[in-house]
Amino acid sequence: MENKKWIFLCILGGTLMILGCVTGSIVLYEVIYELTIGYIREELATIFSIILKIFGSIAAGGGASVIIGALIVAMGRYRLGKFIIGLGVGLGLISLIIFIITGIIQGTITGFFIELITELIALKGGFGFTGAVLTFFSRRQLKKEEKED
């Protein structure tokens, strides 16, 4: 019963993300591919590329991916739904850590933070940022309901 509130807030956040034209972190998957391509075999590189393209496509859906993920959670598939919501919102801890590490390696960390601060100040119309934050915190509150005997 508690999840209904968080599912609704995820759907609301996804709607706000759509209004603000916010998508997940698509560049993250390109960076991951570029960093790992030298360390994996050619056969695996093709499969890895396909998987990352699928993840990037889900992330490109932004708010729509968040809404679909919330509906999947409502159907009882918590892990899959939360995973899709996470890709759609693109504000996960892993992506933040990877961006910081790659920014340090490539020497672009200052440019990244200036761009991030500029986006936060502009708020992408206000709706996008609010929707992303609302979705991020709502996703964290979603818990698998235990069945009663």
pLDDT in tens, 4-30: 888 899 999 889 888 877 777 677 777
Q: Please, which contacts does 49-58 make with residues 24 or more away whose CB atoms are closer than 8 Å?
A: 53/29, 55/29, 55/87, 56/26, 56/29, 56/30, 58/24, 58/84, 58/87, 58/88
Sequence ranges of the domains in the chain? 2-139
Would you state the pLDDT for residue 11?
A: 92
Of the two residues 48 and 1, the one the predictor is more confident about is: 48
Would you state the pLDDT for residue 71?
A: 93
Q: Is the confidence at residue 43, as pLDDT, over 60?
A: yes
Lookup result for tokens 């601060």: 117
